Amino acid sequence: MKFNILGILIIFLVWELLSLFVNRLFLPSPVAVINNLFALLDTPELYGDIWATFKRTIVGLSMGTIIGVIIGILLGFFRPLYKTLRLPMDFIRSIPTTALFPLFIVLFGLGDLVKIFVSAWAACLIVLVNTLYGFQNISQIRLLVGKLKKFSFRKTVCLIILPSTLSYIAAGIRVSLSFSLIVELVAEMFLGSQNGLGHRIFAASSVLAMEEVYVGILLIGFLGYVLNSLMLFLEHKIIHWSGQTS
Amino acid sequence: MPNLAITNLTKIYNAQSKNPQLVFDNFSLEIKSNIIVAVVGVNGCGKTTLLNCLADLIPFELGRIKIDDKDNQNTKIGFVFQNYRESLLPWLKNIDNVACTLEQSTLSKLEKHVYIKNWAVERNIVLPWGSYPYQCSGGQQQLLALVREFINQPKLLLMDEPFTALDYEKRLAWRQQLELLWQKCPTTIILVSHDIEEAIYLADEVIVLGNQPTKIFGHYTIDLPRPRVPVLLQSEKFSELYRKVSQSFLQTIPVL
């Protein structure tokens, strides 16, 4: 805690010093930015923007995760299907989601749907690969236990496969989290958004309200940090057995 | 009447390929009810293949495996793995580890818990049911892996070298635990081992298997009194049996 506070203080000090020598337009002083932040905290629009970004990222991430896990497990079960789809899948994964934005606009328009979809798309591809990877690392002995005890398909998935892959899935979700947030913000900037932190930053920069741009950036950093901590907390609670010897 | 009868078992690996590997060629064996049989042999002599055939984990080309006059596919068979720790599910509490493989599937979850706890109390088995396997000692994990099998009253219990990964003194304790549980819930146990001392110590009969195609090199009756205690290891009788079994074990090794 002591070191955390020290770290933050150092960053602000360096920032303050830099802002003395750099054009105010590019780098406003932290004090001005903080003042701006407190002023904005009184306006309901700011909370609306934070909520909009948070909601779309989380909804997209959840949907992408669910679909990714389902496809991952299916591909894990049916090796021929996986072998057939590996090349096209790797190809699609290599395309940055942002390159597909024009296509998504045509498909889904400019509403909320497209912004949830991009975040889901980014998450799905990462979670899918992680699930597959987890599937390949399931303990053969545990699978044999299921076979010997004549577990049904459902029981095998729920009691052996899903829990075994869970820590891989969780790692996938944490990586996807930042990716979902990135594409979400870009989508808000360029896909005709009326709200969200991405929209706010973009709008502020177009009228050169730099303090507000920095407020937006700080808030996004804060949001990303909170989401990541939340995930870590949940991971720890749910996957209690991970890292235990045995 | 024998409990387990293997008749004319033939098992070929890679039967379709250019170099098929004949593991069992007309292999027959009969084992009486409710005894412990230890199967010893060098690596690659077909011990594990035998277990896998018995447990119906792999198919075989010819022959029959009958347990109490029923095909092995239709019989309750228990299996304790070499790595019994890994065979437990760490995301389930101890009690649910037993409950999820309990065969009384008509019971509700709560009824299963009651059944398991009563079963254990009647046999003086104490386990921390509400804990997770990784919170338990090695001995408790062992016991849990055994309870999970014994509670289903299998007609046949297969064990694939369940002691190999342990220190000597822990192995002694684990042998005791197994014998105690087996006396409370009798069943036929086939224990695969490559440790002759362990085989003699635990078993009523020791079978020495030799190389492919698998043959029986020796079949010994171990008439040591039960319960077996560590002091037996120093007895003249034990040494004599050890001499006999190791002699036939050494015959199975082609070049030495």
Question: How is A96-155 classified by DSSP, letter by letter?
Answer: -GGGGHHHHHHHHTTSHHHHHHHHHHHHHHHHHHHHHHHHHTS-HHHHHHHHHTT--HHH
Q: Tell me which chain B residues have a C-beta less than 8 angstroms from the C-beta of A240.
A: 91, 132
Give CA–CA dist B77/A23, Å, rounded: 79
pLDDT given at position B157: 94
B58–chain A Cβ distance below 8 A for any pair: no
At residue A221, the pLDDT reads 94
Minimal C-alpha gap between B59 and chain A (Å): 14
Tens of pLDDT along chain A (246 residues) come to 889 999 999 999 999 999 999 888 888 999 999 999 999 999 999 999 999 999 999 999 999 999 999 999 999 989 899 999 999 999 999 999 999 999 999 999 888 899 999 999 999 999 999 999 999 999 999 999 999 888 999 999 999 999 999 999 999 999 999 999 999 999 999 887 889 999 999 999 999 999 999 999 999 999 999 999 999 999 999 999 987 764
- Token digits for A107? 């498909």
Closest in A141, A166, A241 to B134, CB measured: A241
Find the residue in A nearest to B136 (Cα). A246
Domain assignment present for A129: yes
Question: How confident is the model at residue B68, as a pLDDT?
Answer: 86
Smallest CA–CA separation between A166 and chain B, in Å?
10
Mean pLDDT rounded to a whole number for chain B: 89
Q: Which of A12, A37, A15, A35 is nearest to A24 (CA)?
A: A15
Q: Is the pLDDT of residue B194 over 90?
A: no
Per-residue pLDDT for B2 more than 80? no
Give me the CATH number covering residue A165: 1.10.3720.10
Q: How many domains does chain A have?
A: 1
Give ipTM to 2 decimals: 0.84
| CA–CA gap between residue B37 and residue B184 (Å, rounded) | 17
Q: Judge whether A211 lies within some domain.
A: yes
pLDDT at B256: 62
Cβ within 8 Å of B, A 141-160: 141-142, 144-145, 147-149, 155, 159-160
Residue indicated by tokens 């002023």: A39
**CA of A149: which chain B residue's CA is closest?**
B101
Interface A-B, measured as beta-carbon pairs within 8 A, has a size of 49
- CATH fold of B2-76+155-252: Rossmann fold (3.40.50)
More confident residue, B211 or A135: A135
Whether B168 shows a pLDDT value over 60: the answer reads: yes
A142 → closest Cβ in B87, B132, B133: B87
- Residue that the structure tokens 């002083």 belong to: A29
CB-based contact, B130 to chain A, within 8 Å: no
Residue B243 to residue B206: CA distance in whole angstroms:
13
| pLDDT above 90 for B85 | no
| Model pLDDT, residue B199 | 93
Q: Helices (H), strands (E): how many in chain A?
A: 11, 0
The residue of chain A with its CA nearest to that of B135 is A244
Q: Is A157 domain-assigned?
A: yes
Return the domain boundaries, chain B: 2-76+155-252, 83-152
Contacts 24+ apart (CB under 8 A), A149-157: A149/B100, A149/B101, A155/B100, A157/A73
**Residue B187 has what pLDDT?**
93
pLDDT at A193: 84
| Proportion of chain B above pLDDT 70, given as a percent | 98
Where is average pLDDT lowest: A1-15, A74-88, B144-158, B166-180? B166-180
CA Rg value for chain B: 19
Residue A33 lies in a domain: no
Does the residue A86 lie in any domain? yes
Residue A120 sits in which domain range?
A: 44-238
Contacts of B87 in chain A (CB under 8 A): 141-142, 144-145
Question: What does the pLDDT read at residue A63?
Answer: 96
Q: How much is the pLDDT for A245?
A: 61
Residue A184: count other Cβ atoms within 10 Å of its Cβ.
28
**pLDDT value for B1:** 58
Whether A246 and B100 lie within 8 Å, measured CB to CB: no
CB A75 within 8 A of CB A82: yes
Q: A238 CB near a chain B CB, below 8 Å?
A: no
For residues A173 and A176, what is the distance between their CA atoms, to the nearest angstrom? 5
pLDDT at site B251: 86
Residue B132 banded pLDDT, cuts 50, 70, 90: very high
Residue type at position B112: K
- Which residue of A lies nearest to B105 if distances are taken between CA atoms? A151
- Which chain B residues touch A160 with a CB distance below 8 Å? 89
B250/A contact by beta carbon, under 8 A: no
- Amino acid sitting at position B145: A
Angle, CA A51 vertex, CA A48 and CA A53 arms, to 5° = 110
Specify the pLDDT at position A124. 95
